[in-house]
Amino acid sequence: MPIFNKKTDSKPMELPTHIAIIMDGNGRWAKKRGLPRTAGHKVGAEAFRTIANYAKSIGLKYLTVYAFSTENWKRSQEEVNTIMELLEKYLRELLRDMDKNRVRFCFFGDLSRLSPTLRAEAEETAERSKQYDGVQVNFCLNYGGRDEILRAARSFAAKCAAGEARPEELTDEVFSGLLYSAGVPDPDLIIRPSGEERISNFLLWQSAYAEYYFTDTLWPDFGPRDLDLAIEAYNKRSRRFGGVK
């Protein structure tokens, strides 16, 4: 469906069904300003709020964001604590304003390592927001693409060991159904701000045919106009999925 009063190659702009974002650059944003890394995470949290609201306003169906990876535990305890406190604050606000915003939230990742409070808030947010039919925001929290694939493989292996499945029954569709993202279409467009050009263990299985967009803009400075530019670039791509057009 057209989303802008613009055209690319004489065609209306098309909105991807699913956009995923690696929210990168908070620490560098803070360093450039002589601030502690934790200040960058606070501004980055507001950038996420802005983008999530904008995604809803333009009619995006799925937005997936990389909030905290399985490798991020290696950071300083102060930084990890700040990120977790920001997440708790955001989820409390989500629960408070849920009926007004009507955004559906899902969480991809192993929530068992989170604090009991944060885990409970995440589970309540996901459960209560199931009733909404607007944009679905998938929050990758304590998430790693390799970890997700290993968990899915172990799950299918356990089914085989129990006599509930046979190895030859494993297909792309069956395996996809064992991932955190089961039921969610693969991302059409993956955006990485901050100038880095790598995928950092993000949606490894799901990104097989995704289009990538890299920008030097640091995440705290990333706004609706930056998302528009990424969508414009996406509209100029020719997606062949291994075929020929």
So where are the chain's domains? 13-144+186-235
Active-site choice (5, 9, 24, 188)? 24
Known catalytic membership, residue 228: no
pTM of the model: 0.92
Q: pLDDT (tens digit, 0 to 9) for every residue of the chain, 245 residues total? A: 445 545 555 567 899 999 999 999 999 999 999 999 999 999 999 999 999 999 999 999 999 999 999 999 999 999 999 999 999 999 999 899 988 889 999 999 999 999 999 999 999 999 999 999 889 999 999 999 999 999 999 999 999 999 999 999 999 999 999 999 999 999 999 999 999 999 999 999 999 999 999 999 999 999 999 999 999 999 999 877 666 55
Known catalytic membership, residue 24: yes
Q: 19 with 62: CB under 8 angstroms? A: yes
Active-site choice (5, 72, 97, 221)? 72
User: Per CATH, is 13-144+186-235 categorized as 3.40.1180.10?
Assistant: yes
